[in-house]
Structure 1
Amino acid sequence: MQVNFSKYPDQLVPAIVQDAQTKMVLMLGFMNEEALKQTEESGKVTFFSRSKGRLWTKGEESGNFLMLKNIAVDCDNDTLLIKAEPVGPVCHTGADTCWNEENQETDFLPYLEKVIAERRVLPVEESYIAKLFSRGINKLAQKVGEEAVEVVIEAKDNNDHLFLEESADLLFHYLMLLQAKGFTLKDVTGVLRERHVKK
């Protein structure tokens, strides 16, 4: 990874920090060559603080570290994208991000759809997904029906944990059934969006 620190008079390149899981942009800092090296070696995101005039590891006082997952440099070699796992709030105000946004996972279902598609095309040994797909559309449809009944049963009881577990099972198998029919959640939300516009 070649980073062009000399492009800037102060030898500091912008470092955009993104949550490795949720993909939310968390903050913007600046790194010199030493800060980048310390980040890579320690596994904790470290910047050069312009106000402090020294290296500064995010979380060194609060304990809200940014645990390094990946570093990438842009096409001009003068800006870094740091993917990290935040340990607590990122902003000094106590907010999740420096833009006062809530850091929530918003893209897990598309990710899960991708995993299902990959396991279907390239089955992993002992994969439940591959085994169920191999049993055909009728078995998949039957499984969705069974899970739907279990959701209804748990909805009538007071065990929230079991209700959520069965709901997750239903959604998971429904995603598989959609793919078996050649569709994804995007197709379903498209229908819902169209209905919403009509109303």
Structure 2
Amino acid sequence: MDLNFAKMPDQLIPAIVQDAGTGQVLMLGYFNAEAWAKTQAEGRVTFFSRSRQRLWTKGETSGHYLQVVSLHVDCDQDTVLVLAHPDGPTCHRGTTSCFDVAVPVAAVAPVASSTGILVGVGAPAPAVGFLAELDQLIERRRQFPAEEPGSYTVRLFEKGLARIAQKVGEEAVETVIDAMAGNKAGLAGEAADLVYHLLVLLRISGSSLNELLAVLRQRHQTIGAGQRRPLPE
């Protein structure tokens, strides 16, 4: 499916950019036909800048390019969702997203709508996206331990696979104990420890959160197609 530039008076199609790893909304830009073609040809997001009246490859000055993962045209062919991997902060202010609050939340005077929704506070990322951020950070600690030599994650990797696997087992047992005891507060903490150590175990074993999610997605699609997996004993 291609874009219908003729629908727009200025021949510009809005493009929403979302982090392919975390799901965070990064920015809004505009494609004209040339920018759309250049983005597909080069694999880096190029917009048409309305203020400069020229093509603009995001990151051409800062080096913080947006590497395209996939492009999704909406049903009316007049909007694009761009999934990309950012090479650094997307916003010129140095924040991850152009929608991030640039000042501490405490200094912001949020506007409450009639429904109680707050406007102007927080980051535009789904909470579950933090798992992807954590997984990426864990992998960075594995690859570049000298950046944070004293971090707990670096020390775990130094202890090796056996110790990390042992920690997963310990945290799993503690999670079960709190669940059986009805300790809701403790359960959340132990479950968090379990998930963190599991992500470390996946990385030291050459796997990742993405591979885990791919398996879950495939199983879900199988069930959706009517192919039921046998229930556990």
TM-score, reference length from structure 2: 0.49
Contact (CA 8 Å) 1:25, 1:97: kept in 2 or not? Answer: yes
Matched, 1:106 2:130: yes
Q: How many residues align?
A: 139
* Pairwise CA distance, 1:81: 0.4
Contact (CA 8 Å) 2:25, 2:124: kept in 1 or not? Answer: no
SS in 2 for 1:40: helix
Unaligned runs of 5+ in 1: 112-154, 178-186
The amino acid of 1:23's aligned partner reads: G
Matched, 1:16 2:40: no
SS in 2 for 1:88: coil
The Cα offsets for residues 9-51 of structure 1, whole Å up to 9 and x where unpaired, read as 0010110001111111100000011101000011110000000
Residue of structure 1 equivalent to 2:87: 87
The Cα offsets for residues 52-85 of structure 1, whole Å up to 9 and x where unpaired, read as 0010000001110001110010111110000111
Unaligned runs of 5+ in 2: 101-122, 136-151, 174-178, 189-233
SS in 2 for 1:106: helix
Distance 1:20 1:11, change over 3 A: same
- After TM superposition, which residue ranges in structure 1, 4 or more long, deviate above 6 angstroms? 172-175
SS in 1 for 2:39: helix
Distance 1:167 1:62, change over 3 A: same
TM-score, reference length from structure 1: 0.57
Residue of structure 2 equivalent to 1:35: 35
SS in 1 for 2:130: coil
The amino acid of 2:130's aligned partner reads: T
Distance 1:161 1:42, change over 3 A: same
SS in 2 for 1:6: helix
Alpha-carbon separation, structure 2, partners of 1:160 and 1:37: 46
Alpha-carbon separation, structure 2, partners of 1:169 and 1:44: 42
Distance 1:53 1:76, change over 3 A: same
